[in-house]
Amino acid sequence: MISDIVNVIFCLGNCVLLVNLRRMRLEKCWFCSSTVYPGHGIQFVRNDAKIFHFCRSKCHKNFKMKRNPRKVKWTKAYRRLHGKDMTQDSTFEFERKRNKPERYDRNLAKNTLKAIKKIDKIRSDRASDHIKNRLKTGKVQRQKEARKQLELGIHLVKAPLALAQDSSLCLPKIKVNVSQAQTEENQPMEE
């Protein structure tokens, strides 16, 4: 199950050449959704014959501890659930797993390689736009907090004479009366 075998027929003049090409099967980690290359990672088979692929022991241990990938912050499931990664995009359709081998066609292969470059560019542009839109709300919130901080600390920024002339820049002064009742708490401590 490491690789698929595809038969390719080449026509060279009078002779026909049949070649077996092996393609790598790239699995997805069940826990974190990263790519598992052949010869890497851990494969776990449950009693009901369900196969789980893990990219590293970290994912395998979290799976054995019965942790939910949607609640662990470093997984793709968490990032998608909380709106940090794109969830729906037409470019994800091209990444789907296809188990059906196809006959080799030179023009199809050439067009596919051209399309892969375009699709990667489109996907990266959309991902950067998604990140910019996601960070806009934080920027607005930081600006509001900065304005509030400036209003509270305007006396640090403005000159004292400007504050004295324009009373609207200063906070209103409040007088508080404090009683000096002699209690046991106010007595000096004895050594």
Q: Judge whether 180 lies within some domain.
A: no
| pLDDT > 90 in the chain, percent | 25
Indicate whether 77 and 111 sit together in one domain: no
Task: Say which residue, 144 or 172, is predicted with more confidence.
Answer: 144
The total number of structural domains in the chain stands at: 2
pLDDT score, position 5: 45
pLDDT score, position 166: 72
Indicate whether 40 and 70 sit together in one domain: yes
Q: Judge whether 91 lies within some domain.
A: no
pLDDT score, position 15: 44
Of 56, 52, 95, 100, give the one whose Cα is nearest residue 74: 56
Indicate whether 77 and 31 sit together in one domain: yes
Total-model pTM:
0.45
Q: Judge whether 95 lies within some domain.
A: no
Q: What φ, ψ does residue 3 adopt, rounded to 5°? A: -140, 155
Q: Judge whether 57 lies within some domain.
A: yes
Element (H, E) at 145: helix 106-152
Is residue 8's pLDDT more than 90? no
Range of 66's domain? 25-85
Indicate whether 79 and 112 sit together in one domain: no
DSSP-derived secondary structure for 18-55: EEEEEEE--EE-TTT--EE-TT-SEEEE-TT--EEEES
The pair of three-digit structure tokens given for residue 87, joined into one six-digit string: 């969830």
Q: Judge whether 55 lies within some domain.
A: yes
Residue recorded with tokens 């409040």: 174
Indicate whether 31 and 74 sit together in one domain: yes
Q: Judge whether 134 lies within some domain.
A: yes
pLDDT score, position 36: 93
Indicate whether 76 and 114 sit together in one domain: no
Indicate whether 74 and 37 sit together in one domain: yes
pLDDT score, position 45: 94
Q: Judge whether 81 lies within some domain.
A: yes
Task: List residues bridging with 9 in a β-sheet.
Answer: 18
List pLDDT tens digits, range 114-137.
888 888 888 888 888 888 888 888
Query: Confidence class of residue 30 from pLDDT cuts 50, 70 and 90?
Result: very high
CATH number at residue 60: 2.30.170.20
pLDDT score, position 19: 43
